[in-house]
Amino acid sequence: MNVDPTLYRKAFQAYLRRGTPIEWSIKQETLPELYVWRTREDEKVRPAHAMNAGRVFNRNEPPSTGHPGSEFNCRCEAVSFISGHTEFAYLEFDTSLASAYNRWTDVEFVSHYYFGNGQSVDLLEIGHLREIAEEYAWEHGAFRRLCDQIADTARRARQGKFAYDFRSAYDFGAVAFSHGNGIVLGQFTGSVLHESGMLRINGLAKFEFRDMFEDPLDLGIEPGGSPYAITGNWSALFRGEVFANAERSDYTSGRSG
């Protein structure tokens, strides 16, 4: 590729002084002023980078992760953003996920089974809300799929207010062995404006977590305890601009891959 000599000299000096790869320095210097963060959307994507996916960033105001490609082996890319021509879409938590309670381990789950008299518990009070919400959003890729589903529903609505209901089961055993499979359900409500071939979408998604502790993973619990419900709630804001024509769009449930 043709590189401006001044830019190359600057990159070469960075290599001599700090060992910074020349190609990486040039790439960072040539980032568009505004860009949309794109990932490969596979299991190798880091959760922190999945959180950046679909967002618009300024070259002069990088996210906490740095720009795409700045971390070792990052495969993400920066797509030049032109308002009204470049798609973007993302969900962002607007609920505080921080808990002031001690985090439950499997021991507390089992203890409550025997001594809790079947009383339900909330993810916030057992210190698991953040982990469950982020596992759902990034590790299970639910936020990315929900962006596609919201975009498809907006295309059908075309203009004005609309709503979309969702519900699926997920394995949350990575958060705690006692969780096993849990259900996340909820509703998105928002509005769409159709303008010059683009759909501008804004709204709020509300999420509800449902699970039952009743030895679903064969922990070997003996009779005598009481099964109990595990519940939780959080919400996230949605913002996006997508092509009205689904065949042109990266945000559609029918996209390949």
In DSSP terms, which residues pair with 162 in a beta bridge? Answer: 190
| Sequential pLDDT tens for the chain (257 residues) | 555 555 445 545 655 665 545 565 555 555 568 999 999 989 899 999 999 999 999 988 889 998 888 788 889 988 889 888 999 999 999 999 998 889 999 999 989 998 999 999 999 999 999 999 999 999 999 999 999 999 999 999 999 999 999 999 999 999 998 998 999 999 999 999 999 999 999 999 999 999 999 864 455 656 678 899 999 999 999 999 999 999 999 999 977 54
90-248: CATH topology: Beta-Lactamase (3.30.450)
Q: Are strands 181-195 and 228-243 parallel, antiparallel or unpaired?
A: unpaired
Domain range annotation of the chain: 5-86, 90-248
What does the block give as tokens for 227?
């099964």
Residue type (1 letter), 31? L
Instruction: Give pTM, 2 decimals.
Output: 0.84
- C-alpha dist (Å) from residue 209 to 148, 162, 167, 206, 216: 21, 23, 10, 10, 17
Give residue for tokens 């720009």. 67
